[in-house]
């Protein structure tokens, strides 16, 4: 790369030392701190132009430059590129200054054009004239910057609405929404509204570092909370928080917040807004005007640039809108249920003792084990209740669940009338029939060891004694009382003896 040319003031000093004062080239170079070859170069240029000191002294620096370097001054007639359009084109993916310079030269064949170094230097000078937020070059569809405005809107009920603001990095296309606060649910509502307003999803969403979004703040590796991470997974984008106390990381939205405050909040300062819905209805037309407003130093408007640059580069929205979800860490109890807000939901019994993540929406409870869904239930607000899926139960529990009082009674009747009757009485002894299931099953199992006939006989004896217990029937079988012939039933009369008192004793 050739060395830069000296200023005309320095060149005039060289000619003054040599042509006027008569200094040698070596003395002139030492005095001015330049090389002897540079002195010789400009003396040769003056001689070639036929100039002596008398002619040079009367010339201005511009006139002297034209006489000494006519080829350099001719560059001023070169075609000047449209640097505003070049700045906008740099927002597109894959576009570089080298590519734009090549296109510039191809579009002006046969005419004087700038060299690549001049092209780049003039663009850098142009970029310095733009606002700080506009000097940043963002790729199309890459970043959506989000934040809350400082001022709030007064509502008729005495509350205040907080204004959520977002802006695309390349086009500065702006979105604003009134929200009740700045909690996690409000951030999610604002970002969801922004994505559906834009009609697509950027690669990155750049928020500030609020506690409602960031679970673990860190200058280099901040971690967002589970709800925000779930939101990002739903839309297939990433969350990249700005560094703390560095507004330049999100200069686009800082500028958008300022513009929204002046264009929207200032115009609504005397308007009495009844509710959040009314506030958003008032914001909508002003927001449209803001996006359609022409740029001052760049061609087009936010809306037109968004339509041509950002919108084609955005990813498509998912089929469904994100439903706000909060997360809770739970542990599976021994009854293979987890407790959420006082209600218990089942999970596969193999996960007993495991730690799970419960994803809670307004209508559903999703239970996750290491990121994988293991159960999904309709949310219930009945405290103390149970929601159980049969497939989550062990095989023995599923079999037990299939028993009913009538099924056990019918099983007993298949052995004999006395067995069925005893099972019915056994179940009636308990307040809840299920409490007698184990006793009834134990009673029926005696048929495998002693046979149906002996069990029927033992149940008949137990009924006669009103002994409606499993243990009573078992003891009868163990002692063999069912094999002893029972005496025929006769009426019993008390014998006459001297210790009996007659009716006269009770008068």
Residue-wise pLDDT for 144-171, tens only, equals: 888 888 888 888 888 889 999 988 888 8
Q: Is 304 exposed, middle or buried (0-12, 13-18, 19+ CB in 10 A)?
A: middle
For residue 209, what pLDDT band results from cuts at 50, 70 and 90?
confident
Query: What's the confidence (pLDDT) of residue 63?
Result: 81
Q: Round the average pLDDT of the chain to a whole number and report it.
A: 81
pLDDT higher than threshold 60 for residue 418: yes
User: Between residues 299 and 490, which one has the greater pLDDT?
Assistant: 299
For the stretch 363-409, pLDDT in tens is 889 999 888 889 999 988 888 788 888 888 777 666 666 667 888 88
Question: What would the mean pLDDT of 158-186 be, rounded to a whole number?
Answer: 89
Closest CA to 227 of 337, 379, 345, 357: 357
What confidence score (pLDDT) does residue 75 get?
Answer: 45
DSSP string, 281-293: HHHHHHHHHHHHS
pLDDT value of position 200: 92
Of the pLDDT bands very low, low, confident and very high (cuts 50, 70, 90), residue 1 is: very low
Mean of the pLDDT values across residues 3-14? 74
pLDDT on residue 434: 61
pLDDT score, position 88? 77
- Indicate the pLDDT class of residue 197, thresholds 50, 70 and 90: very high
Binning pLDDT at 50, 70 and 90, where does residue 459 land?
Answer: very high
Q: Where in the chain is the domain with CATH 3.30.420.10?
A: 143-313
Share of residues in the chain with pLDDT > 70 (%): 85
* Residues sharing a CB contact under 8 Å with residue 252, sequence separation 6 or more, in sequence order: 133, 136, 138, 143, 145, 167, 168, 169, 172
The more confidently predicted of residues 2 and 490 is 490
CA separation, residue 71 to residues 46, 66, 78 (Å): 14, 8, 12
Write out the E strands in 287-425: 326-331, 337-340, 343-346, 355-360, 364-369, 372-378, 386-387
Phi/psi at 404 (5° precision): -130, 155
Residues in the chain: 507
Residue 251 has pLDDT above 60, yes or no: yes
Report pTM. 0.54
Q: What is the CATH number of domain 143-313?
A: 3.30.420.10
């Amino acid at each position: 790369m050739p060395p830069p040319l000296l200023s005309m003031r320095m060149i005039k000093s060289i000619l003054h030392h040599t042509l006027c004062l008569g200094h040698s080239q070596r003395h002139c170079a030492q005095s001015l701190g330049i090389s002897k070859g540079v002195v010789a170069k400009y003396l040769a240029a003056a001689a070639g132009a036929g100039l002596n000191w008398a002619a040079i002294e009367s010339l201005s620096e511009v006139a002297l430059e034209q006489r000494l370097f006519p080829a350099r001054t001719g560059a001023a007639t070169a075609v000047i590129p449209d640097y505003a359009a070049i700045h906008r084109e740099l927002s597109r993916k894959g576009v570089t200054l080298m590519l734009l310079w090549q296109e510039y030269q191809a579009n002006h064949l046969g005419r004087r054009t700038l060299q690549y170094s001049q092209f780049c230097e003039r663009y850098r000078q142009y970029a310095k004239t733009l606002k700080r937020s506009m000097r940043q070059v963002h790729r199309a569809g890459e970043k959506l910057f989000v934040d809350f405005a400082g001022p709030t809107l007064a509502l008729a009920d005495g509350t205040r609405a907080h204004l959520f603001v977002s802006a695309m990095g390349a086009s500065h296309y702006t979105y604003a929404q009134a929200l009740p606060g700045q909690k996690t649910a409000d951030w999610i509502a604002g970002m969801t509204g922004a994505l559906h307003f834009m009609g697509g999803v950027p690669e990155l969403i750049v928020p500030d570092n609020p506690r409602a979004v960031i679970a673990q703040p860190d200058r280099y590796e901040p971690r967002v909370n589970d709800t925000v991470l779930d939101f990002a997974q739903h839309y297939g984008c990433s969350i990249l928080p700005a560094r703390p106390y560095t507004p330049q990381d999100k200069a686009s939205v800082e500028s958008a917040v300022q513009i929204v405050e002046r264009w929207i909040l200032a115009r609504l300062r005397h308007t009495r807004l009844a509710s959040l819905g009314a506030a958003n209805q008032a914001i909508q037309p002003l927001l449209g005007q803001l996006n359609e407003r022409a740029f001052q130093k760049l061609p087009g408007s936010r809306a037109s640039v968004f339509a041509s640059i950002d919108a084609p580069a955005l990813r498509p929205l998912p089929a469904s809108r994100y439903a706000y979800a909060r997360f809770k860490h739970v542990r599976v109890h021994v009854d293979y249920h987890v407790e959420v807000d006082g209600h218990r939901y089942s999970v596969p019994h193999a996960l007993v003792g495991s730690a799970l993540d419960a994803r809670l929406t307004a209508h559903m409870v999703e239970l996750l084990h290491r990121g994988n869904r293991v159960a999904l239930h309709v949310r219930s607000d009945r405290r103390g209740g149970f929601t159980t899926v049969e497939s989550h139960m062990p095989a023995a529990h599923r079999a037990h669940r299939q028993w009913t009082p009538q099924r056990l009674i019918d099983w007993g009747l298949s052995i004999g009338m006395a067995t069925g009757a005893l099972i019915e009485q056994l179940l009636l002894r308990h307040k809840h029939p299920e409490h007698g299931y184990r006793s009834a099953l134990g009673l029926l199992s005696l048929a495998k060891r002693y046979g149906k006939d002996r069990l029927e006989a033992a149940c008949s004896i137990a009924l006669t004694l009103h002994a409606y217990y499993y243990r009573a029937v078992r003891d009868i079988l163990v002692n063999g009382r069912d094999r002893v012939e029972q005496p025929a039933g006769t009426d019993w009369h008390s014998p006459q003896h001297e210790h009996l008192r007659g009716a006269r004793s009770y008068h």
